[in-house]
Structures are given as structure tokens and as C-alpha cells.
Structure 1
Amino acid sequence: MDFYIKLPRNKKELALFMGIISIISVNIIAPLITCFEAGFHFYVWQEVLTVLPFIWMSVIAIVLITYIPAEKMTALIVAKEDSFRSHIVVNILCTVLMMSVLLTVIGTWIGTRSITLEPIKMFFYKWPRNFAISLFVEMCIAQPIARFALLQLHTRLDAKKEN
């Protein structure tokens, strides 16, 4: 029942779900990671805001690229009869793993406005922190809010169908 009521049922709902998650995630994760890199100052946050739209577009593109591989990876780890929560946790883990690997490099390129080898050289130093921040935001903030929004939407739609 949770799969039906808390997850997207069609492409329009998938777009809404992805939109909610990506907007929340980008607005929390990018400034946090940047502030850990450059310091927690107002001017650093302002600078992040100027590149946020580009980071958001790259996040959407990477979500679309990693969606199917993350689903396949999730299917390898959990069984079909496992609980909704286990499916969600493993799927978030797989998705964040793939996305954080790519965005540790691509996000740095966008944020610094230059393509260099620096994010690749520093990858194993920066990626664990980026992964941990992203995993926390996805599991505890972005995904629960998006699933709650779909729960509310589906509850209203199902109530309309019954009447």
C-alpha cells in the first residue's frame, strides 16, 4: 500500500516528486558543502546562489542518468517482498552513492566555473563528506517531504474517485 500511496504513479507525479526532492536537496546540500570548503560566510552563500540554477540542472540530468542503474542496484540488494522502508532506504543509498560520485566532480567544476583536475585529485578526501551530507539530507529531509506531498495528493485524488 505504501508503494501505491507514497510514490509517483505516473510521469507527471514523477516530475513533481523529482522537483520537490531536487529543489530541497540543491538548496541545502550545495550551500553546505561550499561553506565547508570556503567558510561559513554570507558572501560565500551569496556566491553559491549565483550558480545554484546550474547545479540544479546538472542534478536533474544526473538523476535521469542514474535512475535506472540505481533501480537495478536496489533490486539486486532487496527482495521484492521486503518492506517499503527497506526498498526506500536502499534506493536512496544507491542513488546518493551514484550521484555523489558524479557531483563531487561536476559540482566543483560548476561552483568554481572551471574544469580542472583538482576535484578528481581531491576526490577521496572530499567525497565521503559530500556523500554523508547528501545521504542525511535525502533520507531525513528531502525524500520524506516529497513522499508526504505525494501521500497528500494521492489521498485527495483517491477520495475524489470514491465520491
Structure 2
Amino acid sequence: MTDSPFHTHLPRNAKESVAFMLVIAVISVNTIPVVIGGLSAGFTLAMWTGLLRVVPVLLVAVVAVVLLTMKPAQLLTARLVRPSHGFRTRMLLNALCSVLLISAMMTVVGTWIGTWQVSAEPLKQFALLWPRNFAIALVIEALLAQPVARQVMRRYHQRVDARAALAAA
């Protein structure tokens, strides 16, 4: 364990990393497409029910894209982080780098999933679609999905650490 006050906020092993990623993915898949779809087609019941049909496919796609972009995002984050940066700054930079890569891929893949067809349209419209999608995803990731996932980890680690302390006593 580290002496950082935030040592409980991040996954400590592979199983926890999967849980952490799933919390973020579930929140993201249930909020980001709703905002993007609402801005594109209007916030209607039909738009929302249409999104509900693709959520399972989007969830799989998001997890796959996160896994594909994880290492490049970590490398990019490492180039930006300085030893003087605190935990919150590091998390914000990590969110920025992750969302930059994930939103670029999901702008194309998400459109294909949402329309149920693979076409060149999201590539043609990329310069128009991606900046908006990136901004929406960054706000949701930085202010909602990642903080919630870190709190889930913190509470889980508090319980695990308390049990370990009782067992050691």
C-alpha cells in the first residue's frame, strides 16, 4: 500500500480493473449516446428507446475500444504528467488522454452501431462530429463516470482493508 490518501481510489489487481472499467463503461454507454443522440435527433422517447436497443452492442464496443486504446493513452498520459502533479491532476490528464483516443474511435464505431450499417458517413463527417463527441465524453468521464468508479473502488477497498485489519488483529 502507498501512503497516498488516494491509494484506495484505483484498482489494485486485474479483477478490480475489470470491475472499474465496467462501472465506467456502463455509466458512459448510458449517458454519452443519450446526450449525443439527443443533440443530433432531438431528445425524444423514440430516440431513447432506439438507443436502448443498441446499448448491449455499444457496451461491448466500448470495452473493446478501451482495451485497444489503454496502452497508447497511458503512454500519452506519461508524457504529460510531471512528478509535481497531484492525484487529481493525474486523473484528469488520464481522462483527457483516454477520452481523446476512445472518442475518436467511437465517433466512427458508435455511428455504425447506432445506424446498424457500416458506411463512410462518419468518416466524412468526422471533423464535425468528433469535437462535439469528445467534449461531451470528456465532461461525462471527468465529472461523472470516473469519479463514481473511483468512489466504488474507495468504498470496496475500505471494506477489504478493514476486514484484513480485523483478521490481522
Q: TM-score, normalised by structure 1?
A: 0.97
Equivalent positions of 1:1-163 (< 5 A) are: 1-163=4-166
SS at match of 1:5: coil
CA RMSD across the alignment: 1.0
Shift of 1:4: 2.1
Aligned-partner SS, 2:54: helix
- Displacement of 1:81: 4.6
Q: Which runs of 5+ in 2 are unaligned?
A: none
The alpha carbon displacement at 1:80 in A equals 3.9
* TM-score (structure 2 length as normaliser): 0.93
Deviates more, 1:76-85 or 1:128-137: 76-85
Deviations 1:55-95 (A, max 9, x none): 11000000001111111110000124521111101000000
By percentage of residues, which structure has more helix? 1
In 1, the alpha carbon distance for the partners of 2:72 and 2:32 equals 23
Aligned pair count reads 163
Of stretches 152-161 and 88-97 in structure 1, the one that deviates more from structure 2 is 152-161
- Matched residue SS, 2:85: coil
State the identity %: 44
Equivalent residues of 1:70, 1:94 under 8 A apart: yes
